[in-house]
């Protein structure tokens, strides 16, 4: 609890500090990171707690983004309508895809979720009315009224931060609720949970739908971040990136999504923006090859921290 307050205190002070040193670019980068943290956290719910390796989470993320984008283009910029709609559509998509995919397990579940996500990707690529390949530009960020202007990057950051806090709190409550315990039990031993009498399939499906809905919320935010929706949000590379964030941060940990998103995205930008003297003296244009450094860091982390980065800080669990 103390730790959570500390983290959010730092996150709340961060933009003020950036404003003080006139580096508002980093506030924009930070809101982007926090949005990805929401998406990664949603994936962590099914992947980490549910043990269901969804390789198609970009479908819900992208669907949420497209709902907001399409509504904005069609003249419905209100966040009060567009965002719940994004969440609802993503949840519905998760219900349909989950209902079919959850009949398989293991690697086959991974592949079938991937298949559905790719289908949705190609459908949106072919929707020429809404940008197709080129993506969809929105007239601006959603409007909320009440004198709040989301176009202000500082305001936007705090809205995203508040939503991330809500998602993390909700997830904390969820995994410690009765529902969370049952999900735990199903992951540990599905046959036993079934034998005790839990409707396993329905629990897994509900878990999947909740996760999809949260991913849809993250999608609604990412559409607003740059007022632009690209079909690449739905591409399998996006699903893979979210998965990498979760694994990197810590599978089945509350903070895993936030840590993973922060490390991965910050790493990419730091390498591109900051020149480290001693590396530059060895390889003058190393910054053009940020991927190499990211890859090496990821590989090192895999080898040294098998439980993800969150595992390094965790108190040893009693088993």
Taken in order 44, 50, 53, 59, the sign of the CA dihedral is negative
Minimum CB separation of residue 163 from another protein in Å reads 27
- The residue ranges that bind another protein (CB under 8 A) are 47, 53, 100, 103-104, 107-108, 111-112, 114-116, 118-119, 122-123, 125-128, 132, 236-237, 240, 243-244, 247-248, 251, 289, 291-292, 294-296, 298-299, 302-303, 306
Q: Which is nearer to another protein, 185 or 294 (CB)?
A: 294
As a whole number of angstroms, the distance between CA 31 and CA 13 comes to 13
| Burial grade of 24 (CB within 10 A; 0-12, 13-18, 19 or more) | middle
As a whole number of angstroms, the distance between CA 88 and CA 214 comes to 10
Q: Which is nearer to another protein, 292 or 312 (CB)?
A: 292
Range 174-184 burial, b when 16+ CB lie within 10 A, else e: ebeeeebebbb
Q: Which is nearer to another protein, 16 or 302 (CB)?
A: 302
| Residue for token pair 């969370």 | 180
Q: Using an 8 Å Cβ cutoff, are 234 and 121 in contact?
A: yes
Q: Using an 8 Å Cβ cutoff, are 259 and 36 in contact?
A: no
Q: Which is nearer to another protein, 119 or 270 (CB)?
A: 119
Q: Using an 8 Å Cβ cutoff, are 111 and 55 in contact?
A: yes
Minimum CB separation of residue 122 from another protein in Å reads 4
Minimum CB separation of residue 16 from another protein in Å reads 34
Minimum CB separation of residue 117 from another protein in Å reads 9
Q: Closest by alpha carbon to 44, among 187, 182, 226, 231?
A: 187
Q: E-assigned strands of the chain? A: 136-137, 228-229
Q: Which is nearer to another protein, 145 or 274 (CB)?
A: 274
Q: Which is nearer to another protein, 52 or 87 (CB)?
A: 52
Minimum CB separation of residue 157 from another protein in Å reads 29
As a whole number of angstroms, the distance between CA 42 and CA 67 comes to 18
Minimum CB separation of residue 13 from another protein in Å reads 32
Residue 228 backbone phi and psi in degrees, to 5: -150, 135
Minimum CB separation of residue 301 from another protein in Å reads 8
As a whole number of angstroms, the distance between CA 111 and CA 251 comes to 19
Q: Which is nearer to another protein, 170 or 311 (CB)?
A: 311
Q: What are 194's two structure tokens?
A: 């079934």
């Amino acid at each position: 609890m103390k730790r959570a307050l500390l983290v959010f205190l730092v996150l709340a002070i961060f933009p003020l500090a950036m404003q003080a040193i006139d580096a508002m670019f980093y506030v924009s980068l930070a809101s982007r990171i926090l949005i990805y943290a929401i998406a990664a956290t949603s994936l962590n719910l099914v992947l980490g707690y549910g043990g269901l390796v969804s390789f198609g989470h970009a479908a819900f993320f992208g669907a949420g983004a497209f709902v907001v984008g399409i509504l904005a283009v069609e003249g419905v910029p209100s966040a009060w309508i567009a965002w719940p709609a994004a969440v609802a559509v993503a949840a519905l998509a998760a219900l349909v895809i989950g209902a079919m995919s959850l009949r398989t397990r293991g690697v086959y579940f991974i592949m079938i979720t991937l298949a559905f996500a790719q289908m949705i990707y190609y459908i949106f690529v072919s929707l020429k009315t809404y940008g197709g390949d080129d993506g969809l530009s929105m007239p601006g960020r959603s409007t909320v009224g009440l004198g709040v202007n989301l176009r202000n990057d500082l305001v936007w950051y705090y809205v995203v931060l508040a939503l991330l806090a809500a998602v993390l709190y909700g997830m904390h409550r969820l995994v410690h609720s009765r529902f969370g315990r049952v999900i735990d039990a199903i992951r540990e031993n599905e046959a036993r949970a079934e034998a005790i009498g839990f409707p396993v399939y329905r629990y897994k499906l509900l878990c999947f739908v909740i996760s999809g809905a949260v991913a849809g919320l993250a999608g609604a935010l990412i559409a607003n971040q740059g007022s632009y929706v690209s079909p690449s949000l739905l591409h399998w590379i996006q699903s893979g990136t979210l998965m990498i964030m979760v694994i990197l941060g810590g599978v089945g940990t509350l903070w895993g999504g936030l840590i993973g998103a922060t490390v991965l995205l910050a790493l990419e930008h730091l390498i591109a923006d900051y020149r480290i003297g001693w590396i530059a003296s060895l390889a003058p244009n190393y910054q053009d090859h940020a991927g190499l450094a990211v890859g090496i860091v990821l590989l090192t982390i895999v080898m040294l921290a098998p439980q993800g980065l969150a595992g390094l800080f965790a108190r040893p669990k009693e088993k």
